[in-house]
Structure 1
């Protein structure tokens, strides 16, 4: 893939900027409607059938050439307009959280991506842009973008961009790398009162493992996080639990640090198996997510444009800005393509991401304003990139 080093001081003409603002305003009703529709019908990873269809349908109405089910993923799509040499991809996430709905605001992400794309249709030919919206399923643990990256969805893309809602605006993403682990213990059932000695307690295995993880945290680097839950703890209180299951996340500052930490966490699960006499299975639920690699020029461009339309960024060290330390499969994309992943404040405090109160905040007037601001800021950033020209040296990135 090519990636152009574009001067971030470049700026699209005032005429272009006015066209983009007018286009977002013209589409505002449809964008807010899409955001609210997605919010009212949350679908979890790999199940986003309505969300993908509704988002792609709006892009089709806006004149994009839409291909559903790309990369052999039924809830992914590609929508493209223009044929210029600078190829900008806008990533639309639309999956929700189990039990919490859109408590991470992916409805806002999808609507902002569509809005930015709708605006850029007016200037794509004049600026030499190809604009693609990628519908990217299963960010919440499934790694949809990683599979799409491996299967060629980002081939030929110069820049990949998206915005993500949070309590406050933050320009620079600093997500952790993360491994998603499925953990299963298998023991032996027995009557808990009459024949307890004949059982092998698979619930005890998790107890031992969690104690081990809790103690291990004393020796882990400060950039790591380990957390999870037991999803199956047994069948009846008077039966020794024979099968238990859980889901665990291990986060670290980089993929390299993750590879050092993950074996120590897995050793705690093995300790649970050894102590309880149970069999253990650990399987990854998705490929590991990478840390995010910020492109300094893209961040500067976005920040300038967002501030220009009235956004205000959190001060360094603001505790409300910590959402930029969450994990995303956009990190893997950033290792291959110049990428942008800022956070868009929706005035939700004291509610923060992954709370029910935050889900409620993602369909308010402030959230609707964020949809439109995010769309315009992304569109302006793409236009400024095009105004800077495509000449320059390629930025080295990893192979997919």
Structure 2
């Protein structure tokens, strides 16, 4: 595995003939790739439940000549698909989970389809460029940390570069995702009749009220690189019964894992204050391992940007408010600590709609989105080809 610290800075370039083959192959596969995107979009499945999405995506890769392993690394909705046998190992990450209640409002249908589109092109040139190409079907990015589980189980062992492209309202080459902790919060009190015997109750809903007031006040003293947000998923059973059990889900984000640890401790103190004030028991459990901040690789960013601009893509200015999707979070961040990684955003022409809105979900299956996913697929394929060409040139010297 290539250490994350061994990062090159001199972009290479694949031969013109290879670039032509990639463009032609991605274009020929476009109808299949777009059909996959629309099929995933019409059948959203949430984290760890992506049975059809994993099967449909893996099946298309099988048709493209990849050797497919379903249920890879002990995860029923993961897969690994490989072609080529070269010394430079490139992994394309295919996400396909949807958001509860919002469907593909983050556009993971486009992520999966663009990975398959890139894989279609690279299958034609992998051996010529000294590449091994693996497409990893990575479940549960939306809170489950599928890539972290796969990383721990060896999915990225021997991988030199991990790549994907994420839809957003505008193009952004360099990702800057937050580290994030996903917390399940549970209060247990005591039920009682709210009118006849209120003094015998211990109100688990009041515990959340106190905690949320504390978090709201805490935000005044938190660094600007942090975010704290969440919701109560269970607030009680009946208005005339003191709630004895309440549940919630909270995210704490920070610039890096070190800052996250400090901020998370202060947020958890607010939940403890709620328990103390309401006389309730508190349980906080992680819903997944913490996601790390993302570590960009300068060479990969430069290669992708050049290739995307060559396809006519135009990148937003750093201060463009629409570009803030690059400050979300991703479980590819953990991978980027040990493998060179690329996570650009490709604009789908959705404005004023932005990620995690129903209007953005609708925009992820439009002609503009289809064109963007094909551009993203080809830009990823060209970037992988450039890496292979550069590695081959270095090896021949």
With normalisation by structure 2, the TM-score equals 0.98
2:2 counterpart residue number: 2
1:37 counterpart residue number: 39
1:261 to 242, 263, 282: 263
Which deviations, in whole Å up to 9, do the C-alpha atoms of 1:282-310 show, x marking residues without a partner?
00000000000000110000000000011
2:68 counterpart residue number: 66
Contact residue 72 and residue 78 of structure 2 kept, 8 A: yes
Contact residue 188 and residue 241 of structure 1 kept, 8 A: yes
- Match runs of 1:1-400 below 5 Å: 1-2=1-2, 5-6=7-8, 8-389=10-391
Give the superposition deviation at 1:387.
1.1
Moved over 6 A (4+): none
Contact residue 2 and residue 338 of structure 2 kept, 8 A: no
Which deviations, in whole Å up to 9, do the C-alpha atoms of 1:32-56 show, x marking residues without a partner?
0000000000000000000000000
Matched residues in 1 for 2:102 and 2:381: separation? Answer: 31
SS of match in other structure, 1:10: coil
Matched residues in 2 for 1:202 and 1:256: separation? Answer: 32
Contact residue 110 and residue 167 of structure 2 kept, 8 A: yes
Which deviations, in whole Å up to 9, do the C-alpha atoms of 1:134-175 show, x marking residues without a partner?
000000000000000000000000000000000000000000
Contact residue 171 and residue 345 of structure 2 kept, 8 A: yes
1:398 counterpart residue number: none
Where in structure 2 are there 5+ consecutive unaligned residues? Answer: none
Where in structure 1 are there 5+ consecutive unaligned residues? Answer: 393-400
Contact residue 5 and residue 391 of structure 1 kept, 8 A: no
Matched residues in 2 for 1:263 and 1:114: separation? Answer: 41
Give the superposition deviation at 1:316.
1.8
Contact residue 226 and residue 255 of structure 2 kept, 8 A: yes
With normalisation by structure 1, the TM-score equals 0.97
Matched residues in 2 for 1:30 and 1:189: separation? Answer: 56
Give the superposition deviation at 1:2.
2.2
Contact residue 8 and residue 385 of structure 1 kept, 8 A: no
SS of match in other structure, 1:2: coil
Matched residues in 1 for 2:73 and 2:125: separation? Answer: 29
Matched residues in 2 for 1:159 and 1:319: separation? Answer: 30
